[in-house]
Amino acid sequence: MYSVQRVYIYQHQQPAVLIDRLWPRGISKARLNGVDWIKAVAPSSQLRQWLHKSPASRYNEFCQLYQQELYQPQQQQALQTLQQLHQRHQQLYLLTAAKDIAHSHVPVLLAQLQT
């Protein structure tokens, strides 16, 4: 099972993976010691920046574009790594710095992982 949590409240209770392209502000590398960082499963910098210019009106299109990105070879390899970690641990936390998880890349990524 995958669980999603903001990186700022993660307490090392279960194995976890950081799924953002950028390292979260205010979080030291030491604090996330032992947490894998698979940034290739996050949206490209270009797509992320495009969304942030107008999140409300662009979110649906962002989801479609991000889904397409997930089919690229590098992203497919990263997804496979994420799925292998999940198989090894059964319970895996997906960590993100996103304030509004429901309107971020996370729902698209979860849908892809569950297919």
Per residue in 31-42, pLDDT (tens digit) is 999 999 999 999
8-state DSSP, 13: S
**What value, to the nearest 5°, has the Cα angle with vertex 50 and ends 62 and 6?**
70
- Distance of alpha carbon 1 from alpha carbon 17, whole angstroms: 13
Does residue 101 or residue 13 have the better pLDDT?
A: 101
What confidence score (pLDDT) does residue 13 get? 78
Report the pLDDT averaged over residues 71-86. Answer: 96
pTM: 0.93
How far apart CA 42 and CA 39 sit, in angstroms, is: 5
Q: What is the pLDDT averaged over residues 83-100?
A: 95
Residue 73, pLDDT score = 97
